[in-house]
Amino acid sequence: MKGTICTVNHLDCSAIARTPKQRSVIGSLANLCRKLFAWILEREGKRLSRLALSEMTDSQLADIGVTRAEARREAARPFWD
């Protein structure tokens, strides 16, 4: 029995259909990739924030209520923390 014709390259859709288990694995991998990407973006945001903090002048730090020692300590933290 011939399967449904897909609109992409006129392929037989049944030839490229995925089983429920394959869809589950693909969905899990996609979810893992999304979480990893979000984690990377969050870490990059912290890194950039700490870099900006380390480059602030004493008067800028005083404006936000942070001492130079606190700024240095925060800037020295690892990106994963």
pLDDT tens digit sequence for 51-70: 999 999 999 999 999 999 99
Strand partners, 12: 5
Residue 7 within a domain:
no
For the chain, what is the domain count?
Answer: 1
Domain assignment present for residue 61? The answer is yes
Q: Residue 46's pLDDT is what?
A: 93
pLDDT for res 34:
96
What is the spatial distance between Cα 22 and Cα 39, in angstroms, rounded to a whole number? 26
Host domain of residue 39: 13-75
The 3-state secondary structure of 16-72 reads: HCCCHHHHHHHHHHHHHHHHHHHHHHHHHHHHHHHHHHHCCCHHHHHHCCCCHHHHH
56 conformational bin, left if phi > 0, alpha if psi -120 to 50, beta if neither: beta
Residue 4 lies in a domain: no
